[in-house]
């Protein structure tokens, strides 16, 4: 005999309710990927800059961009109107997989940004979210620097 026979509609209601409650409990027990403490790791406020009038060099920190796996933020150094350095301020490093991905992605994004002298850079395969956040933060820093 089948457990969900049509002549026993109450049994189907009870089973459907139990399945719904079980599903909700499982969803509510999931933990977020990043902790709130990691989002506050920026040493300089977004859009901040420091300048050295003697050498024509200044640093500008881009906006912190929240990605699926955590915040991404970069700081650029501009000398005489040319992008000379891109330094990551914050990027996902909470777990070993984040560390593995970003160990190769962040240096590649830096190389591409310096070569392009803009935020028009390719996405690193396997690091799509970090690449998107990096590009957005870089663009905000370039905008703040007037490039």
Q: Please check whether residues 83 and 124 belong to one and the same domain.
A: yes
Confidence band, pLDDT 50/70/90 cuts, at residue 13: confident
pLDDT greater than 50 at residue 114: yes
Instruction: Report the CATH number at residue 105.
Output: 3.90.1010.20
Q: What is residue 72's predicted lDDT score, i.e. its pLDDT?
A: 92
Better-scored residue on pLDDT, 142 or 31: 142
The least confident of 12-21, 23-32, 41-50, 131-140 is: 41-50
Q: What is residue 9's predicted lDDT score, i.e. its pLDDT?
A: 72
**Cα gap 9→6, rounded to integer Å:** 6
**Cα gap 88→75, rounded to integer Å:** 6
**Cα gap 26→20, rounded to integer Å:** 10
Q: Please check whether residues 48 and 109 belong to one and the same domain.
A: yes
Better-scored residue on pLDDT, 30 or 67: 67
CA 143 to chain centre: 20
Q: What is residue 99's predicted lDDT score, i.e. its pLDDT?
A: 87
The half-sphere exposure of 135 on its side-chain side, counting CA atoms within 13 A, is: 14
Q: Please check whether residues 81 and 23 belong to one and the same domain.
A: no
Please compute the mean of the pLDDT values over residues 82-95 and round it to a whole number.
88
**Cα gap 102→127, rounded to integer Å:** 7
Q: Which two tokens stand for residue 110?
A: 């830096």
Q: Please check whether residues 132 and 72 belong to one and the same domain.
A: yes
pLDDT tens digit string along 40-65?
344 444 444 444 444 578 888 999 99
**Parent domain of 23:** 1-30
Instruction: Give a three-class secondary structure readout of 100-128.
Output: HHHHHHHHHHHHHHHHHCCCCCCCCCCCH
Candidates 70, 38, 56; CA nearest to 137 is: 70
Q: Please check whether residues 22 and 42 belong to one and the same domain.
A: no
Number of separate domains in the chain: 2
Q: Which two tokens stand for residue 88?
A: 């990551």
Q: Please check whether residues 21 and 58 belong to one and the same domain.
A: no
Q: Please check whether residues 90 and 23 belong to one and the same domain.
A: no
Give me the chain's average pLDDT, please. 79
Give me the residues paired with residue 12 across strands. Answer: none
Residues of the chain above pLDDT 90, percent: 16
């Amino acid at each position: 005999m089948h457990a969900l026979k049509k002549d026993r509609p109450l049994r189907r209601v009870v089973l459907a309710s139990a399945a719904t409650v079980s599903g909700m409990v499982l969803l509510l027990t999931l933990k977020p990927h990043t902790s709130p403490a990691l989002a506050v790791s920026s040493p300089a406020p977004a859009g901040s800059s420091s300048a050295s009038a003697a050498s024509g060099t200044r640093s500008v920190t881009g906006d912190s961009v929240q990605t699926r796996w955590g915040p991404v933020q970069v700081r650029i150094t501009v000398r005489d109107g040319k992008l000379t350095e891109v330094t990551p301020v914050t990027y996902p490093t909470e777990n070993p997989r984040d560390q593995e991905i970003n160990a190769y992605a962040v240096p590649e994004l830096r190389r591409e940004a310096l070569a392009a002298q803009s935020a028009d850079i390719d996405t690193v395969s396997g690091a799509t979210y970090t690449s998107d956040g990096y590009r957005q933060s870089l663009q905000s820093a370039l905008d703040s620097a007037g490039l």
